[in-house]
């Protein structure tokens, strides 16, 4: 048993299952690149059988990201295993991850089979995966509600069939940390060939104990932890990897394990996933929340000024928080912009930098000072310019308490032609959205609209985040501008373009 814990990130698979977290292929690839920089050992790139888009994303990641193991999830059936291998066979280090329900409640109501049939499915498909690659992971879904003796037998049989990693998932977030640790101990004592496989854990957060369960498992011998950046995922989400990582790093005296992670990439990873999924990071969230290293109490501030370790068990720079804020202005040059973006963790290409510099100059003319948070907003807008089907060229709004809000917009379509239209609404944002709908005729329902200030002051950049629903799928859109109406229009255009882009590939 090694003293190194491997980190499997499943943000691109389980994380994307969170309602409204759908990503484009390019966004998934960008997240995978950042996970590579973070140093995760295994990237679970997706579920190739679920859609053509997911297959394409997994294949792109497998073909182009070479250091980590690239895993992909598969149903326990021959067709799914074959399809999964097709997606990851170009990886330098491929892994097929087979999952199959093991609890009686799942076997009876979901699979509608008996225990013997399910065991045969598990063994057959692990063996099939093994015929394609040496690295095979098996997960008995809902393991924490499975009859222990049946679970032990299934694990033993899957190791004999070729599984090299056994993942013990708390699929519905049911376990208590002490109870979960006991299960892991029992597995190591009662599965006779367990020494031939690495033990992994995958914990959900329905009762708020995903991180605690993961850490309890490490303490008793699990040497792979699965989770997502920011803890996103199905229902209440998964174990937040940044919290698991920093717990193991900060309390190495207790857990006595090593990691291959570069913790200075945590902040950047967290912000990237938040930006792409549209899920805000709560201010009081551990490690990466906006208040994680802020001190308001006078007693705390006094102690911090005397010695940081009085009230901080982690150095914010250790997890990649920017050490200082550099203010740029309209006289700043391209080199200064690039340098600060690099310090913030961004690495724009020359073409991207050229576009960013033009946008930066426009913003600098509107604002006296451009801060780090303004630059982050610019980078978000840059990322949102993915293969846009439609682009917003111009917007004009009239409103007030004595008139009917009216918006006129000009949009360029995929054929390069522009169309101008106008509409009225209950307010200026509604008028803008009605005008856009007249040009882009896509059925959808706006389900969420939020606005916040990115920076401080009367000239602050405002960010709008919206969600729309089309054919039961959710799509997030984000836009930022010093004019909140323009930001709202950008967010709606972004959501519609995502709908069109993701809808096409899926």
Q: What is the mean pLDDT of the chain?
A: 89
Q: Specify the 3-state DSSP secondary structure of 453.
A: strand
- Give per-residue pLDDT as tens, 3-27: 999 999 999 999 888 877 778 898 9
Running DSSP on this structure, what letter comes out for residue 196? Answer: G
Rounded mean pLDDT for each run of 10 residues along the chain, 506 residues in total? 87 88 88 97 97 95 98 97 98 98 95 96 98 98 98 98 98 97 98 97 98 98 98 95 97 96 95 88 88 67 66 82 63 77 78 81 75 75 65 92 92 91 94 94 91 73 89 86 91 90 60
9 vs 259: CA distance, rounded Å: 14
The pLDDT of residue 130: 98
Distance, CA of 360 to CA of 370 (rounded, Å): 8
Query: What per-residue confidence (pLDDT) applies to 302?
Result: 63
Q: What is the DSSP string of 404-442?
A: --EEEEEEE-TTS-EEEEEEE-SSHHHHHHHHHHHHS--
Residues 6+ apart with CB under 8 A from 254: 219
- CB-CB neighbours of 267 under 10 Å: 22
Instruction: List domains and CATH numbers for the chain.
Output: 6-277 (3.20.20.70), 334-383 (no CATH), 391-505 (3.30.160.270)
pLDDT for 381 equals 66
Instruction: Identify the pLDDT of residue 505.
Output: 45
User: d(Cα 381, Cα 365) in Å, to the nearest integer?
Assistant: 18
DSSP per position, 59-90: HHHHHH--SSEEEEEEESSHHHHHHHHHHHTT
Whether the CB-CB separation of 28 and 286 falls below 8 Å is answered with no
Q: How many C-beta atoms lie closer than 10 Å to residue 280's C-beta?
A: 15
Decide: 198 and 224 in contact? Cβ < 8 Å: yes
Asked if 447 and 474 count as a contact pair (C-beta separation under 8 A), the reply is yes
User: How crowded is residue 235: how many other Cβ atoms within 10 Å of its Cβ?
Assistant: 13
- The pLDDT value recorded for residue 503 is 63
- Distances in Å between the Cα of 296 and the Cα atoms of 288, 303, 309, 454, 498 are 17, 12, 16, 21, 40
CB distance 491 to 466 below 8 Å: yes
Rounded CA-CA distance 51/56 in Å is 9
**Helices (H) then strands (E): counts for the chain:** 17, 14
| C-beta separation of 209 from 216 below 8 A | no
Taking each helix axis from N to C end, the angle separating 78-88 and 52-64, rounded to the nearest 10 degrees, works out to 40
Give the pLDDT confidence score for residue 339 in this predicted structure.
Answer: 79
Residue 87 pLDDT? 98
What whole-number distance in Å separates Cα of residue 51 and Cα of residue 31? Answer: 19
pLDDT at 363: 79
Q: How far is CA 243 from the centre of its chain?
A: 14
């Amino acid at each position: 048993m090694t003293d190194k814990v491997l980190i499997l990130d499943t943000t691109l698979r389980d994380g994307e299952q969170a309602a409204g977290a759908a990503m484009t292929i390019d966004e998934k690839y960008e997240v995978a690149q950042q996970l590579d920089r973070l140093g995760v050992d295994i990237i679970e790139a997706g579920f190739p059988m679920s859609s053509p888009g997911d297959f394409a994303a997994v294949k792109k990641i497998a073909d182009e990201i070479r250091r980590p193991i690239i895993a992909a999830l598969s149903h326990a059936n021959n067709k799914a295993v074959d399809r999964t291998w097709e997606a990851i066979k170009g990886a330098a280090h491929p892994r097929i991850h087979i999952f199959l329900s093991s609890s009686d409640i799942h076997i009876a109501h979901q699979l509608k089979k008996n225990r013997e049939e399910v065991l045969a499915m598990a063994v057959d498909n692990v063996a099939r995966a093994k015929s394609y690659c040496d690295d095979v992971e098996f997960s008995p879904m809902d393991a924490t509600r499975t009859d222990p003796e049946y679970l032990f037998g299934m694990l033993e049989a899957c190791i004999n069939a070729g599984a090299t990693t056994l993942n013990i998932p708390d699929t519905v977030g049911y376990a208590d940390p002490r109870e979960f640790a006991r299960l892991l101990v029992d597995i190591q004592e009662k599965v006779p060939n367990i020494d031939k496989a690495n033990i992994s854990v995958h914990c959900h957060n329905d009762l708020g104990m995903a991180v605690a369960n993961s850490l309890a498992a490490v303490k008793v011998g699990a040497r792979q932890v699965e989770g997502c950046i920011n803890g996103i995922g199905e229902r209440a989400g998964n174990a937040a990897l940044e919290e698991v990582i920093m717990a193991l790093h900060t309390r190495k005296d207790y857990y006595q394990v090593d990691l291959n992670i570069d913790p200075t990439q945590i902040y950047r990873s967290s912000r990237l996933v938040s930006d792409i999924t549209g899920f805000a990071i709560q201010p009081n969230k551990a490690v990466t929340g906006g208040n994680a290293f802020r001190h308001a109490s006078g007693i705390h501030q006094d102690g911090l000024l005397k010695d940081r370790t009085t009230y901080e068990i982690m150095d914010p720079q250790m997890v990649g928080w920017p050490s200082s804020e550099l203010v740029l202005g309209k006289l700043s040059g391209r080199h200064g912009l690039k340098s600060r973006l690099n310090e913030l963790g961004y690495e724009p290409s020359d073409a991207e930098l050229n576009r960013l510099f033009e946008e930066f100059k426009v913003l600098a003319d509107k604002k006296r000072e451009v801060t780090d948070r303004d630059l982050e907003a610019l980078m978000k807008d840059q990322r949102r310019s993915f293969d846009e089907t439609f682009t917003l060229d111009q917007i004009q709004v009239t409103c007030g308490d004595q008139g009917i809000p009216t918006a006129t917009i000009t949009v360029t379509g995929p054929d390069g032609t522009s169309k101008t239209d106008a509409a009225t609404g209950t307010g200026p944002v509604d008028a803008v959205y009605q005008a856009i709908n007249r040009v882009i005729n896509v059925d959808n329902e706006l389900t969420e609209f939020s606005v916040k200030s990115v920076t401080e002051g009367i000239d602050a950049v405002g960010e709008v985040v919206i969600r729309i629903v089309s054919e039961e799928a959710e799509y997030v859109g984000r836009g930022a501008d010093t004019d909140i109406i323009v930001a709202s229009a950008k967010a709606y255009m972004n959501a519609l373009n995502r709908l069109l882009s993701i809808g096409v590939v899926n």
